[in-house]
Structure 1
Amino acid sequence: MKKNIIKYLIVSSSLLAIVGCGRDMVGSETVDTDRQVGDGFIKTDAIARTAANGIYNNMQNRYVYGGELHFFEGLFADDFTHTGTFSEFAEAGASNFLDTNLSVRRIFGAHYTVIRTCNAIIDQVETKPILGNTITDPVKNQVLGEAYAGRALMYLNLVRLFGGVAYVTTPIYIADEVVRPKRDSKEFVYESIVNDLKKSIEFFKKNNEKSETFLSLDAAQVILAKTYMETGQYNDAKAILENIKGYSLSASYTALFSSSISTEHIFKINFTETDGGNQAFFFYPALVGGRGEVSLRTQFMSIFDTDDKRKMFALAQGRNYFRKYSNPGSGADNIPIIRYADVLLSLAECRLKTSGDALTPVNQVRERAGIAPLAAVTLDDVLMERRKELYGEADRWFSVKRFGKAQEVIESKGRPYFSKRLDLWPIPAWQLINNPNTNQNPGY
C-alpha cells in the first residue's frame, strides 16, 4: 500500500494535466513528463480513453478520494476524533485550521490536478480537435461527458470547502507556465458547475457507457441535483432525483463495502493492492495493522439503535474504530462516491423542503438497516439518517453546513465556533504567497 506523503508544488493552475496508463494508478501532484496530456496528444479512440483514465487515476490521489477528504470531513464535523500524532489532523479535529495546514493545501491542489486533466481532454477533443484525428463520435461523447462531470465534481468539492475559487477551464501544457487567476465568486462557481454538468448530460445522452467505476449520465445527474441542493433549488433537485432509475439498495449493508459489484453504486473509486487507498490504514489501530490516526467519537457510537446493522462497522476495542474499509495493509478497497441510499435521503430532504412523500425513501434506508420505520419524518431525522448511513464517506461536513447546523455541531464537541469564517476552510497560505491575485477567506 502506498502511504504516499506526496511532494507538493502548485499555484492554482500551474501544473500540467496528468494521466496514467490504467484506472488503478494513484495520481501524483508532482509532474511526471511520461504522463502528461501534451498539446496535440489526443488523436485516437484509444488515446482518448487513456486520457479519460487520468481523471480517475488522479481522483485516487490521497488528497481527493484516497483518504484525507474523508478523514478531514468527519474530524472537522463530529463523527471522528484525532487519536494519532499528525498536527494537520489535530487541527481538523479541533475544527480550527491554520492556513499553513499541509493537508488542506494538498486537498486544494490535488483537486486542481484532476481539473487540469479534464481541461486538457475538453480542449483537445472538443474545443480545438487535432486535424486528422480519428476519434469516433461515441468515444468523443463518452470522454467529454466524463471530463465535464469530473471537472464539475471537483469544483463542487472546492466551493463547498473553500467558497469561491478560480474556475480554471483552460489547459496548461508547458511545465514552466504559471497562471495566477483571481478567485471567482461562489455564485459564479456554482453557475459554472451547473453549466458543465448540463454539457456532460448532453454528451452522455448521445453515448452512455454505464459503469459504476466511470462517471456516467446518472452520476452527472446526481451531481447536478446535489449542486441545486447547495444553492437552495430544491424543486430542480427533486425533479432530477425522482428520475434516477435502475438502482436499488444492496440487500446487505455489509456487502455494499465487501463486494466489488452492487446494485446501489452509481459512482465509486476502486483501489487495488497496487495503488491502495489510505482509508483503512489511517482508521484501523496498530493492533490490527493500521496507524490509528483517526477514530470514531464516543458520542457517535451512541447514535445507533440496538439492532441497527450499520453500527457493526463502528467497533470499540480499546478505542472506537471504523471499518467500512477493511484492508489496512493493501488499501484495496472500493470507495463509494455516489450511491443510491444517498439519492433516497437527498430526495427526502428535497421533498421536505418542497412537497411530496419524504417518509418512504427514509424508511427504505432504515428497513435495510434492520430498524423500525418512522411514523413521520423531519429534516432533523433526515440529517441523522445521513449521519448513520454515510459516515466515513466524505458527507458529514457538507450535510451539516447545508442543514444550517455547523455551529451546533462544532460546539457540541466543546470547540469554539468562528462565525466570521462562514463555515469555510482557509485558502492555503502557499496560494497567497505565490498568487498575488487571490485573497484569504474571512476570519483567517
Structure 2
Amino acid sequence: MKAKSLILSLFSLLILAGCQDDFLALSPETDRNTVNFYKTAADFNNAVVGTYASLKLGGTYNTSLYWMGEVSTDNANYGVTTRQAVNVDNFQFIDHSYTSLNDIIYAAWRDHYRGISRANAILSRIETAGIPDNLKAQYRGEAQFLRALLYFNLVRLYGDVPLVTTEITEADGASSLTRTPTAEVYNLIISDLQSAEQVLPITYGSTDVGRAPQGAAKALLGKVYLTRKEWDKAATKLKEVISSGRFQLLPKYADVFSFATPTNAEILFNVQYKSGNTGQGSNFGPVQASEGARITGGSMRYVTADMENAYETGDLRKAFSMKSSYLDATGQLVTQRYVSKYVQFGALAGDSDIDFPVIRYADVLLMYAEALNEVGFNPEAVTNLNLVRQRAGLAATTATTQSSFRLAIEQERRVEFAFENHRWFDLVRTGRYTTVMNGKGLTVQDFHTLYLIPQREMDLNRSLTQNPGY
C-alpha cells in the first residue's frame, strides 16, 4: 500500500475550509474569520495542504483542465451524443462555440483563484509567524510553487488576468481589479519559482509524500521559459533537472501511472488521490472494475479516431492509454474508443487511487530537446527525444532538420502525454493550434488560442474586459 500522508492530512482541513476557502474567487463572497488561525507550524502546514487540495477542485485538474486541454483538441471528444440543456457547456468544446456563461470555463477561473487566495494567505502571514526557520522557508516555497503553477495555467488560458499577490479579506476586495498584462503575470511566476527552487527540499521523507520538491520548481520554471520562447534559459534550467540524477524514465510506461507506485522516479509532481469512499479518491477512469471494462453513462473521455491513428505501429503506449472497445453492463461488446490510462481495477467506481501527473521526467526530456532544437538542431536534442521513443518500443526519429524535428517533438508529446491536458497548451504555445485543428476539419479561429472571461466575473467586476473575438 502506498503512503499518502499529504492526502490523508486533508481531514484536518475543516478549520481551513471555514476560514480561507474563498478569499479570492474574483467575486464578492463573505467575510472570513482568520484571527485564531496561522499561529503555529501545524496551522501553516494545514494551510499549505489546503493549497495543494485546490488542485483537486473541479475547475483545476479534476475536470475543467481536461475539457480545456484535451476535449478542445483533436485528442478527445464528448462521450454523449444527445444534446440537451444540461450538457450545452460540454458540447461547446466540440463545436468551439464558447459562450461567457460556460460553467466549465468559469470553474477554471474561479478555482484557480481559490488556490491562489490560499497561497496568498500563507505568504502574507508566514514571515512574521513564530515557527522554525526551516519550516517557514519550506512552506513559503511550497506556496510560491503552487501560486506560480496556478497563475501559469491562468495566463495561458485567459491571457491578461488580475494579478493578486496579497491576501484579500474584504467581501468586495476583488470587485474592481483590472486585468494585468501577461508580461507582469509571468514576472511573478518566474520570481515565485526562482525563490521556490532555492528553499524547497530536494526530497521529502515518507510522511510528506506528494509535496513539491526542488526539481518540480526547476522543471516548471523551464516550461515557463519554453512557453516564453526563452530557449537558452529553458535549456539551462531543464538541464539542471536532468543533471541532478534524481529522476529517470521508468522502464515501463504503464508503471508511471500505477496506483501501487504513485510516487516514483519519473514523477516530479502530481495531484494525489486516495480511495476508500472518503471523498479523496479520483474519478478519472470512467470505468467500473468488474470482469471487464464497463463504461459508465456520460463518459467524457472518449478518444478521437485521429488520436488512435496518431500512434505508430508498435507503440507500447497505445494499449495502455486507450482501448477501442469495452463490455457494457450486460456483457455485450461495444466498439467505442475510450481512455484507459487512469483505470484502476478493483477500486470503487469513481473512487480510485490513480494520481494525475502534472510534471514528469519525460516532459523534462522532451522540453529540453525542444529548447535545444530552437537554438539549433543538434545531436543532444535527438538523443533526448529518442530516450522517450525507445521506452515506447519505437525506432529512433528520422528527423534531420530543425523544422522536421519540431514536428517530431509535437508528435511525440501528443502520444507520450495523451489525456494529460497538454495538447491544447502545446499547440497554442507553438503557434500551431489553428493550423492543426483546421487542417483536420475542426473549425477553430485565431482567438480560440485564449478562452473567454466568464460573464459572472464581468458582471461582478465592471473593470474586467472580454478577450477579443468573443
TM-score by length of 2: 0.83
Q: Does the 8 A contact of 1:289 with 1:329 survive in 2?
A: no
Q: Does the 8 A contact of 1:180 with 1:437 survive in 2?
A: yes
In the alignment, does 2:114 pair up with 1:113? yes
Cα 1:286–1:375 change in 2 (3 A) is: closer
Cα 1:165–1:381 change in 2 (3 A) is: same
In the alignment, does 2:55 pair up with 1:69? no
Deviates more, 1:158-167 or 1:282-291: 282-291
Secondary structure of 1:247's counterpart equals: coil
Structure 1 residue runs without a partner (length 5+): 1-19
- Structure-2 residue corresponding to 1:348: 369
Q: Does the 8 A contact of 1:279 with 1:325 survive in 2?
A: yes
CA distance in 1, matches of 2:13, 2:56: 6
- Structure-2 residue corresponding to 1:8: none
Secondary structure of 1:438's counterpart equals: coil
Deviates more, 1:234-243 or 1:43-52: 43-52
CA distance in 1, matches of 2:102, 2:50: 27
CA distance in 1, matches of 2:431, 2:267: 28
- Structure-2 residue corresponding to 1:392: 419
State the shift of 1:23 in Å.
Answer: 4.9
- Structure-1 residue corresponding to 2:302: 295
Aligned pairs, how many? Answer: 417
Q: Does the 8 A contact of 1:271 with 1:334 survive in 2?
A: yes
Q: Which amino acid aligns with 1:387?
A: R
Q: Which amino acid aligns with 1:341?
A: A
Q: In the alignment, which of 284, 305, 309 is matched to residue 316 of structure 2? A: 309
Secondary structure of 2:136's counterpart equals: helix
Secondary structure of 1:319's counterpart equals: strand
CA distance in 1, matches of 2:172, 2:281: 31
CA distance in 1, matches of 2:224, 2:209: 20
The CA deviation string for residues 210-258 of structure 1, in whole angstroms up to 9 with x for no partner, is 7761122111111111111111101001001111021110111111111
Cα 1:396–1:39 change in 2 (3 A) is: farther
Q: In the alignment, which of 270, 273, 279 is matched to residue 271 of structure 1? A: 273
CA distance in 2, matches of 1:37, 1:325: 39
Q: Does the 8 A contact of 1:24 with 1:272 survive in 2?
A: no
- Structure-1 residue corresponding to 2:178: 182
Q: Which amino acid aligns with 1:261?
A: T
Q: Does the 8 A contact of 1:145 with 1:216 survive in 2?
A: no
- Structure-2 residue corresponding to 1:442: 468
Q: Does the 8 A contact of 1:95 with 1:410 survive in 2?
A: no
- Structure-2 residue corresponding to 1:219: 216
In the alignment, does 2:408 pair up with 1:381? yes
Cα 1:59–1:222 change in 2 (3 A) is: same
Structure 2 residue runs without a partner (length 5+): 1-5, 22-31, 326-334
RMSD: 2.7
In the alignment, does 2:75 pair up with 1:89? no
Q: Does the 8 A contact of 2:142 with 2:212 survive in 1?
A: yes
State the shift of 1:200 in Å.
Answer: 1.5
CA distance in 1, matches of 2:427, 2:315: 22
Deviates more, 1:369-378 or 1:315-324: 369-378
Alignment of 1:44-55 (within 5 A): 44-55=40-51
State the shift of 1:32 in Å.
Answer: 3.3
The CA deviation string for residues 173-196 of structure 1, in whole angstroms up to 9 with x for no partner, is 355655431000111111121111
State the shift of 1:37 in Å.
Answer: 8.2
- Structure-2 residue corresponding to 1:167: 163
Q: Which amino acid aligns with 1:253?
A: Y
State the shift of 1:167 in Å.
Answer: 0.9
Alignment of 1:396-415 (within 5 A): 396-415=423-442
Identity level (%)? 28
Cα 1:329–1:292 change in 2 (3 A) is: same
Secondary structure of 1:263's counterpart equals: coil
State the shift of 1:286 in Å.
Answer: 8.9
In the alignment, does 2:339 pair up with 1:339? no
The CA deviation string for residues 71-104 of structure 1, in whole angstroms up to 9 with x for no partner, is 3311111100122252222111223311110110
CA distance in 1, matches of 2:95, 2:44: 44
- Structure-2 residue corresponding to 1:6: none
Q: Which amino acid aligns with 2:343?
A: S
Cα 1:425–1:26 change in 2 (3 A) is: farther
Deviates more, 1:346-355 or 1:275-284: 275-284
State the shift of 1:430 in Å.
Answer: 0.7
Cα 1:309–1:23 change in 2 (3 A) is: farther
- Structure-2 residue corresponding to 1:7: none
Secondary structure of 2:358's counterpart equals: strand
CA distance in 2, matches of 1:82, 1:341: 28
Q: Does the 8 A contact of 2:7 with 2:273 survive in 1?
A: no
State the shift of 1:277 in Å.
Answer: 2.5
Q: Does the 8 A contact of 1:49 with 1:143 survive in 2?
A: yes
- Structure-1 residue corresponding to 2:74: 78
- Structure-2 residue corresponding to 1:11: none
TM-score by length of 1: 0.87
State the shift of 1:66 in Å.
Answer: 1.3
Q: In the alignment, which of 388, 394, 400 is matched to residue 371 of structure 1? A: 394
In the alignment, does 2:234 pair up with 1:237? yes
Cα 1:37–1:392 change in 2 (3 A) is: farther
State the shift of 1:261 in Å.
Answer: 2.9
